[in-house]
């Protein structure tokens, strides 16, 4: 099976950089995905790491290290609109195994 752990809450100020970690226990998976969800909204796809290393998309970057069973989402130049919940998710190797989401990290960006 698969299980993921994330910090429940993170607080930072506008303009800062924040890192949201995701550690996992899994028998194998294709890649690590990150989703953003604002209160009352739908999860929105942010990034996907199929391979180890850093993927950069604008202000957001995501990192994966399979050997460490660890990944993170890095948000730079924080803006108030970045206040949301962030979920990591993994997709199992076997056909039919679907996304398992982490519990989510609630990011609060302060002025």
Partner 1 sequence: NAGVMQNPRHLVRRRGQEARLRCSPMKGHSHVYWYRQLPEEGLKFMVYLQKENIIDESGMPKERFSAEFPKEGPSILRIQQVVRGDSAAYFCASSRAGHTDTQYFGPGTRLTVL
Q: Which positions lie near partner 1, rule CB under 8 A?
A: 30-31, 33, 35, 41-45, 48, 87, 89, 91, 95-104
Task: Pick between residue 70 and residue 101 the one whose CB is nearest to partner 1.
Answer: 101
Task: Pick between residue 96 and residue 111 the one whose CB is nearest to partner 1.
Answer: 96
SS3 82: helix
Contact of 108 with 14, CB cutoff 8 Å? no
CB atoms inside a 10 Å sphere around CB 103 = 13
Q: How far is the CB of 68 from partner 1 (least distance, A)?
A: 22
Q: How far is the CB of 89 from partner 1 (least distance, A)?
A: 8
Task: Pick between residue 25 and residue 44 the one whose CB is nearest to partner 1.
Answer: 44
CB atoms inside a 10 Å sphere around CB 84 = 20
**Residue 40 contacts by C-beta under 8 Å, 6 or more apart in sequence?**
none
Contact of 14 with 109, CB cutoff 8 Å? yes
Q: How far is the CB of 19 from partner 1 (least distance, A)?
A: 19
User: Which residue, chain included where needed, has tokens 């195994």?
Assistant: 97
Q: How far is the CB of 60 from partner 1 (least distance, A)?
A: 15
Task: Pick between residue 36 and residue 61 the one whose CB is nearest to partner 1.
Answer: 36
């Amino acid at each position: 099976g698969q299980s993921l752990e994330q910090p429940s809450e993170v607080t930072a100020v506008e303009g800062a950089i924040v890192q949201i970690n995701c550690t996992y226990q899994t028998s194998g998976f294709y890649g690590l995905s990150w989703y953003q969800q604002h209160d009352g909204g739908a999860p929105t796809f942010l990034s996907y790491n199929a391979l180890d290393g850093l993927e950069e998309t604008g202000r957001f970057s995501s990192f994966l290290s399979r050997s460490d069973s660890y990944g993170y989402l890095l948000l730079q130049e924080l803006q108030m609109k970045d206040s949301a919940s962030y979920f990591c998710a993994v997709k199992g190797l076997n056909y039919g195994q679907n996304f398992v989401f982490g519990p989510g990290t609630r990011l609060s960006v302060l002025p």
